[in-house]
Amino acid sequence: MRPHRTSLLLAFGALAAALCAHTAAAATAPPPRVTAFASSFTAGQAGWLFFRAGDTSGRATVSLGVFDDERQVWTKVLPHVRTDTGVMYSSTWTPRTRGTYQFCLLATDRAGHESHTSCALVRVG
């Protein structure tokens, strides 16, 4: 038995409306949120860089970077991080020289929304 043409058109219309609603919700979803935390450790030894990341989609790609003045001295990309703002995340970095650095991060969710950049001081002695 062939489906009635009107039934097919109604089903297609409902599917198109659902897709449009999903796309509109993704377009209006808030961007991810990130927070970098200050830290201090010793040159030549691995130290921990701590941060939080949150997003309503549940996952985001988080890009981490450490800067000495305007020059990037370290970078790491963490794909598909579960974004739960109640959880503290971390990554290690081994600085070569003493000084004060900026630890910065940015998150991008699955819909392509980007967070504001969050930076914190890292003191290496």
Instruction: Give the tens place of pLDDT for each residue, 55-105.
Output: 888 889 999 999 998 899 999 999 988 887 778 999 999 999 999 999 999
Looking at the structure, tell me whether residues 39 and 81 fall in a common domain.
yes
Q: Which residue bears the tokens 């701590």?
A: 50
On whether the CB atoms of residues 74 and 25 are closer than 8 A, the answer is no
Q: How many domains does the structure of the chain reveal?
A: 2
Strands 89-93, 99-109: pairing is: unpaired
Q: Can you give the residue range of the structural domain that contains 13?
A: 1-29
The model's pTM: 0.76
Looking at the structure, tell me whether residues 79 and 50 fall in a common domain.
yes
Residue 93: what pLDDT? 97
